[in-house]
Amino acid sequence: MGICERRHSRHPLLWVRPNVQGGLSLHLSRPWPASSLDDAGPSHVLSAPELPDGNRKRHRARDVLRGRVGGQVSGTASCGSSRLLCGIDVGGTRTKVGLIDPKDPSAVLAMEVFDTERNSEELFLGNIRKSVQRLTDKVGNPSAAGVSIGSYAFRDGSIDGFSSMIRFMTHGYPLATKLSDALCKPVRIDNDARLICLAEAVAGSGRGFSRVLTITLGTGIGIGICQDSKPLGSEPFFHLAGHLKVREGTEFPWLDETPCYCGISGCAESTCSGTALALHVRHELGKGTDVKRMFEMASQGDLKAKAVVDWYITYLLRALNQYVYAYCPDVIVLGGGVAHGLSPYLNRIRAGITSWVFEGQRTEVRLTSLEEEAGVIGAASLFCSDDWRANA
């Protein structure tokens, strides 16, 4: 677990840190500048409307995203500031910032979504700081912030690099320290796949299970595992487990024209990710057909589309059965863009889990129930529990 914590203060703080030369560096941390309150808002502002009695009704952020709940950020916060936590989900394209009450982490009280600044570190940090300030003004002051990032996160709060997406985030970039300075709050960071799992464990389809494994079937395959609502391991050692081998690697040249960076021919990511499925769909059904349309055609009885679904589930089950042996999960939660199309086939997938680790052990399979807000909930939930890092 990548961790960097610092106490929150509205006043300038002087920090003394060891530097890479073996000496000490002095750093003055400043409170938020007043000018940050006057900047233009984000591309999307999401908030739950207030009830007439002044109590803030909490809606799931996905309801707001879908337009079922409207409203701008408004009103005086009724939440005590000490109860709130902030979640920051940094993606290569979009950044989401939201506030939760840890007593009910499934409800995001308010969330902003804006483009991720990928070139200027100053703008990147400033955009997040301003977003947190706007949410603070409207909902309440969070006591700490968790951050989700698509990179390996070291326990000292640095990352392995996000350079392909965010130019200045190279290996060793001290993301937790940078954001802690910008926000004047304790900050913890972790890998995005791990935090999706944490979100499912505390607030989603994994709630009530001890060992939760999440498999995100998106651009790639993200793996996260939690035990008793805590990420397994002090760092994201398993998040690249989507590259286990599920086929020879020479059967489908259209999937393997560009070898996977993992070096394993026929890995799950090069077969079952949304990217791989899209390639297979185009090869089998024509270039004008996408994955969503393929699932629609299959549900309408199209034989070619049904054959693609059969093909996909065959390889997905090869992966899932290996994950049962590797992690002994009580539940596997499938997420990502492909998972939506798998809903009609869930019982078939459950029946295809034939591996078990001990007599009586069975692994349930569910689909994600969190969608857009999973990263924010998982990131904020880094502050809901404190003991897994010490014991890892």
Give the interface with Zn ion as residue ranges (CB under 5 A).
243, 260, 262, 267, 269
Nearer to Zn ion, 12 or 259 (CB): 259
Q: Give the Cβ contact number of residue 320 at 10 Å.
A: 26
Distance between CA atoms of residues 132 and 141, nearest Å: 9
Distance between CA atoms of residues 114 and 128, nearest Å: 9
Whether 44 contacts 61, CB under 8 Å? no
Q: Is 340 helix (H, G, I), strand (E, B) or coil?
A: helix
Nearer to Zn ion, 309 or 319 (CB): 319
Q: How far is the CB of 134 from Zn ion (least distance, A)?
A: 40
Q: How far is the CB of 245 from Zn ion (least distance, A)?
A: 9
Taking alpha carbons only, the member of 304, 327, 312, 344 closest to residue 246 is: 312
Query: Tokens in use for 164?
Result: 């392909």
Kind of pairing between the strands at 44-47 and 108-115:
antiparallel
Distance between CA atoms of residues 337 and 276, nearest Å: 12
Q: How far is the CB of 71 from Zn ion (least distance, A)?
A: 43
Nearer to Zn ion, 153 or 260 (CB): 260
H-only helix segments in the chain: 61-65, 121-138, 175-183, 192-203, 253-256, 269-272, 274-285, 291-299, 303-327, 337-341, 346-351, 374-380, 388-391
Nearer to Zn ion, 260 or 291 (CB): 260
Q: How far is the CB of 255 from Zn ion (least distance, A)?
A: 11
Q: How far is the CB of 310 from Zn ion (least distance, A)?
A: 23
31, 33, 34, 37: CA torsion to nearest 10:
-100
First-residue to last-residue Cα distance in the chain: 9
Taking alpha carbons only, the member of 69, 72, 48 closest to residue 58 is: 48
Nearer to Zn ion, 201 or 260 (CB): 260
Q: Tell me the CA distances in angstroms from 256 to 1, 270, 279, 338, 392, one per residue in order.
A: 34, 7, 10, 20, 37
Q: How far is the CB of 320 from Zn ion (least distance, A)?
A: 17
Q: How far is the CB of 268 from Zn ion (least distance, A)?
A: 7
Nearer to Zn ion, 194 or 243 (CB): 243
DSSP structural state of residue 212: E
Q: What is the CA radius of gyration of the chain?
A: 22
Nearer to Zn ion, 262 or 313 (CB): 262
Nearer to Zn ion, 88 or 244 (CB): 244
Distance between CA atoms of residues 173 and 56, nearest Å: 38
Q: How far is the CB of 246 from Zn ion (least distance, A)?
A: 10
- Residues with Cβ < 8 Å from 33, sequence gap 6 or more? none
Q: How far is the CB of 269 from Zn ion (least distance, A)?
A: 4
Q: How far is the CB of 185 from Zn ion (least distance, A)?
A: 37
To which residue do tokens 């007599």 refer? 359
Nearer to Zn ion, 62 or 243 (CB): 243
Nearer to Zn ion, 124 or 315 (CB): 315
- Residues with Cβ < 8 Å from 209, sequence gap 6 or more? 201, 329, 330, 331, 364
